[in-house]
Structure 1
């Protein structure tokens, strides 16, 4: 194998291994309340992503079992960790199953979305 072939192979391998990082998106890693968890009425919803998110372009919606929207505050990020999106819950939640629907725009402008449920216990 000559020097030119070695350089080409090394460059190709570098591109292949660097590509996943270049195309990364903010993936949900953890939620409070936990995905599928049971809690008393939460004061806020905290979503931890795999990378920093832009609160002005990200959003969270909360709906009760019957589909009624629950009022939430404006999204913000934790000052100590820009990958944590926080929304305040506007009222005490009665017992039941709730659905969190989120969309996140990462600092590199890629967007992701998803949803999960949690249960509020008496």
Structure 2
């Protein structure tokens, strides 16, 4: 089943990220928490099921691994989507796991992400 979402990236790591993709789509950029989740990428068509989520590390010049691509160590699933869902929150956690949360309204940070942000997990 194909669904169309406005994608909102949430970054709970301690550095900015860019080229955040879901199955090669929605290449977003986001600052670290708390300056995250402020923009969306509209009209992204995704098929339900397992998703491949990747992003590239950013930061000040000389920061280790700048430009390196990171893949989610889990396999985020896009399933059980309510029929009226319009948004997809893509929550990127410091342990390189990702959670996909569809919603009717603009997504908010997760309690898990807020608790982990800045702790270097």
Give the TM bin, normalised by the shorter chain: 0.3 to 0.5
TM-score where L is the length of structure 1: 0.41
TM-score where L is the length of structure 2: 0.41
Richer in helix (by share): 1
**Larger CA Rg, structure 1 vs 2:** 1
